[in-house]
């Protein structure tokens, strides 16, 4: 038996470990470090690509490096992130010799680039676990049906990330950063996103980490990922690709969307005193953001709502920030063109000692799950029970972050007024848990009754069922389940679904605000009257609002140029959004 003080030694100062014990540990490790033995073998060849005394590898050696570190059947993460893309590494993957490297199991938050699919077309990879695939949703569906891609599962972001620590550990991780020094310290800039979480998942399981960087520098502005966690860095000719995913042009916001935003502000944001929140992507929520300094101010809502945000730095938030609505914002990633502006707002955004922002997808998603009172978003389809989905036949867009944020957080315990009120009003609570007070997150869908191409948003049955059959999924890909949804807002009014005592009553409430869609045509005036009386449905007149008031003149910014002006020229809109 070892001496007890050895425990203290190893625990408190491993650098002082006693050699006799070291030997015993090395001996005992045998047979329990197969992943390490395997990695060390791969590294023998791979290390030869490093420039002497550094972790730097020439971009021209990248394909050969990948062939040295990869083995058939490996689980490989590629960043494939929500916004930034390790696009150079993705391109290199497509160039691998399929006879050497094949059957890879890819892990990636986003399938976004054509190279992501090409890896499968070429047979280099066969299986994927992912979260979001909006940009290639149709192509992905086709390849799944042709048997070219085997989907492990579709996840919400943090779900996939935490599985990388448990049952989907990546052997090799291919990531992107802004800069590295020659030792491998990484600087991720504003788009830190999920890179540190993934690098840790790999490196502390004997994995191999390869980073493409925009430049190798003598000293990184700050260390986002320590050198020992990174094996290879490759400076690329072109900076990594990044998508301005959260930018919406105020010029495209319609009066119908403004009206829905006004209804929501009066009937939900203000009614429940929502201070902590997340917005999905879309014009409905962009309208809310641009109404705060105008309509919100007139209605006396300032100070009572919308002070703390789990949100990427939406350019449409600039007027609300400038007029003092926002206390803090916690971003998942950054947004192209917002960098200079963010540097000037350390009281609101997480700006580091180096002066640039550090985002954090894991902590922002956690805040989006646990710390916020309400999620406001939009969707393509809502069924008669209140389930919603963005998947349609022939398209697999994935889930992204919505399932995590647009659900109740049953583990939450800290109270706030809106959270308590929503549960107090909950018509089914007593049937579920008896006469006990608790809280509940608000999950709100803001939709026009007819969506793009005049297809009805309200449907009897989701297209997700059809897709389930096509792609042979175990269950249909539902984005938000009916029992997590609390409110639907359309141009017809608001349904306070969580107040309903039965599924039948909820179905009636949905019909009441579903307009001229087939579901809406089922609404009965007498039922709607009773639902209004019971406070389950509010029509615009019940909120003292009229469509005539929904004018574009109410928007704090009416164009991209307006947003740039609000920022005093600090927001630099991406080219595609500039018409001046």
User: Interaction with a second copy in 552-571: which residues (CB under 8 A)?
Assistant: 564, 568-570
Pairwise CA distance, residues 570 & 563, whole Å:
10
Does 370 bind a second copy (CB under 8 A)? Our answer is yes
Residue whose CB is less far from a second copy, 409 or 467: 409
A 10 A CB-CB count for 551 gives 11
The residues facing 277 across adjacent strands are 309, 374
Q: Which stretch binds a second copy (CB under 8 A): 22-30, 43-51, 488-496, 522-530?
A: 22-30
Closest CA to 350 of 369, 368, 332: 332
Say if residues 440 and 464 touch (Cβ distance below 8 Å).
no
Does 175 bind a second copy (CB under 8 A)? Our answer is no
Pairwise CA distance, residues 467 & 503, whole Å:
25
Q: Out of 146, 167, 452, 525, point to the residue binding a second copy (CB under 8 A).
A: 167
Does 379 bind a second copy (CB under 8 A)? Our answer is no
Pairwise CA distance, residues 313 & 302, whole Å:
20
Q: Give the x-and-dash track for 119-138 against a second copy (CB under 8 A).
A: ----------x---------
Residue whose CB is less far from a second copy, 145 or 348: 348
Does 10 bind a second copy (CB under 8 A)? Our answer is yes
Residues 266-295 that bind a second copy (CB under 8 A): 275-276
Q: How far is the CB of 420 from a second copy (least distance, A)?
A: 6
Does 358 bind a second copy (CB under 8 A)? Our answer is yes
Does 413 bind a second copy (CB under 8 A)? Our answer is yes
The secondary structure element, H or E, covering residue 187 is strand 186-187
Say if residues 448 and 381 touch (Cβ distance below 8 Å).
no
Eight-state DSSP code of residue 373: S
Q: How far is the CB of 23 from a second copy (least distance, A)?
A: 12
Residue whose CB is less far from a second copy, 256 or 278: 278
Residue whose CB is less far from a second copy, 435 or 453: 435
Q: Which stretch binds a second copy (CB under 8 A): 61-69, 284-292, 400-408, 545-553?
A: 400-408
Does 434 bind a second copy (CB under 8 A)? Our answer is yes
Does 200 bind a second copy (CB under 8 A)? Our answer is yes
Does 115 bind a second copy (CB under 8 A)? Our answer is no
Residue whose CB is less far from a second copy, 487 or 554: 487
Does 251 bind a second copy (CB under 8 A)? Our answer is no
What burial letters (b/e) apply to 275-301, b meaning 16+ CB within 10 Å?
bbbbbbbbbbbbbbbbbbbbbbeebeb
Does 34 bind a second copy (CB under 8 A)? Our answer is yes
Pairwise CA distance, residues 299 & 544, whole Å:
12
Pairwise CA distance, residues 81 & 212, whole Å:
14
Does 154 bind a second copy (CB under 8 A)? Our answer is yes
Contacts of 204 (CB under 8 A, 6+ apart): none
Q: Which stretch binds a second copy (CB under 8 A): 18-26, 44-52, 95-103, 445-453?
A: 18-26
Q: Out of 115, 339, 426, 463, point to the residue binding a second copy (CB under 8 A).
A: 339
A 10 A CB-CB count for 70 gives 23
Q: How far is the CB of 549 from a second copy (least distance, A)?
A: 32
262: helix, strand or coil: helix
The pairing of beta strand 172-180 with beta strand 186-187: antiparallel
Q: How far is the CB of 188 from a second copy (least distance, A)?
A: 11
Q: Out of 235, 268, 364, 446, point to the residue binding a second copy (CB under 8 A).
A: 364
Does 179 bind a second copy (CB under 8 A)? Our answer is yes
The pairing of beta strand 208-216 with beta strand 241-242: unpaired
Does 244 bind a second copy (CB under 8 A)? Our answer is no
Does 531 bind a second copy (CB under 8 A)? Our answer is no
Residue whose CB is less far from a second copy, 261 or 488: 488
Q: Which stretch binds a second copy (CB under 8 A): 51-59, 100-108, 135-143, 414-422?
A: 414-422
Does 385 bind a second copy (CB under 8 A)? Our answer is yes
Q: How far is the CB of 263 from a second copy (least distance, A)?
A: 25
Contacts of 531 (CB under 8 A, 6+ apart): 495, 505, 508, 509, 512, 537
Does 44 bind a second copy (CB under 8 A)? Our answer is no
Q: How many chain residues are in contact with a second copy, going by CB under 8 A?
A: 144
Residue whose CB is less far from a second copy, 258 or 478: 478
The residues facing 57 across adjacent strands are 50
Residue whose CB is less far from a second copy, 10 or 145: 10
Residues 462-501 that bind a second copy (CB under 8 A): 474-478, 481-484
What burial letters (b/e) apply to 163-180, b meaning 16+ CB within 10 Å?
bbeeebbbbbbbbbbbbb
Does 2 bind a second copy (CB under 8 A)? Our answer is yes
Pairwise CA distance, residues 476 & 459, whole Å:
15
Pairwise CA distance, residues 521 & 108, whole Å:
42
Q: Out of 414, 472, 533, 576, point to the residue binding a second copy (CB under 8 A).
A: 414
**DSSP per residue over 279-302, as a string?**
E-SSHHHHHHHHHIIIIIHHTT-B
Say if residues 171 and 210 touch (Cβ distance below 8 Å).
no
């Amino acid at each position: 038996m070892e001496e007890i003080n050895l425990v203290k030694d190893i625990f408190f100062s491993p650098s002082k470990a006693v050699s006799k014990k070291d030997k015993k540990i090395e001996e005992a490790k045998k047979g329990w470090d197969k992943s390490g033995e395997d990695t060390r073998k791969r590294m023998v060849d791979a290390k030869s690509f490093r420039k002497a005394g550094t972790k730097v590898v020439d971009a021209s050696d990248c394909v050969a490096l990948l062939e040295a570190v990869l083995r058939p059947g490996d689980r490989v993460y590629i960043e494939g992130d929500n916004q930034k893309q390790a696009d150079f590494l993705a391109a290199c993957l497509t160039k691998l010799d399929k006879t050497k490297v094949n059957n890879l199991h890819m892990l990636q938050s986003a399938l976004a680039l054509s190279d992501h699919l090409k890896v499968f077309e070429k047979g280099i990879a066969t299986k994927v676990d992912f979260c979001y695939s909006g940009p290639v949703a149709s192509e992905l569906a086709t390849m799944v049906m042709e048997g070219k891609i085997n989907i492990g599962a579709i996840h919400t972001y943090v779900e996939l990330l935490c599985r990388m620590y448990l049952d989907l550990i990546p052997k090799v991780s291919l990531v992107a950063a802004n800069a590295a020094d020659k030792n491998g310290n990484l600087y991720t800039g504003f788009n830190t996103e999920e890179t540190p979480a993934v690098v840790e998942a790999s490196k502390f399981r004997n994995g191999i980490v390869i980073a493409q960087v925009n430049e190798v520098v003598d000293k990184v502005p700050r260390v986002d990922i320590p050198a020992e966690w990174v094996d290879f860095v490759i400076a690329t000719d072109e900076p990594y690709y990044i998508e301005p995913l959260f930018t919406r042009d105020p010029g495209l916001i319609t009066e119908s969307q403004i009206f829905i935003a006004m209804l929501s502000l009066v009937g939900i944001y203000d009614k429940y005193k929502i201070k902590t929140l997340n917005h999905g992507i879309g014009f409905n929520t962009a309208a809310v953001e641009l109404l705060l300094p105008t309509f919100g101010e007139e209605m006396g809502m300032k100070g009572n709502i919308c002070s703390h945000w789990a949100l990427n730095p939406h350019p449409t938030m600039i007027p609300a920030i400038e007029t003092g609505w926002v206390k803090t914002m916690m971003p998942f990633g950054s947004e192209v063109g917002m960098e200079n502006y963010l540097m000037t707002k350390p009281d609101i955004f997480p700006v580091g000692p180096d002066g640039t922002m550090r985002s954090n997808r894991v902590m922002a998603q956690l805040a989006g799950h646990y710390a916020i009172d309400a999620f406001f978003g939009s969707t393509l389809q809502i069924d008669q029970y209140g389930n919603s989905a963005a998947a349609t036949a022939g398209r697999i867009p994935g889930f992204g972050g919505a399932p995590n944020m647009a659900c109740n957080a049953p583990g939450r315990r800290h109270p706030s007024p809106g959270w308590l009120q929503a549960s107090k009003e909950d018509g089914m609570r007593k049937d579920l848990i008896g006469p006990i007070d608790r809280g509940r997150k608000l999950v709100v869908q803001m939709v026009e009754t007819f969506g793009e191409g005049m297809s009805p948003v309200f449907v009897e049955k989701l297209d997700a069922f059809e897709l389930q059959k096509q792609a042979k999924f175990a269950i249909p890909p539902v984005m938000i389940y009916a029992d997590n949804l609390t409110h639907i807002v359309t141009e017809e009014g608001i349904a306070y679904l969580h107040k309903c005592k039965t599924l039948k009553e909820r179905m009636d409430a949905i019909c009441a605000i579903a307009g001229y869609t087939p579901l809406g045509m089922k609404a009965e005036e007498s039922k709607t009257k009773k639902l209004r009386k019971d406070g389950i449905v509010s029509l615009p007149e019940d909120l003292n609002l009229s469509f005539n008031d929904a004018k574009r003149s109410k928007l704090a910014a009416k164009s991209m140029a307006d947003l740039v002006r609000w920022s005093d020229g600090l927001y630099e809109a991406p080219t595609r959004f500039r018409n001046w």
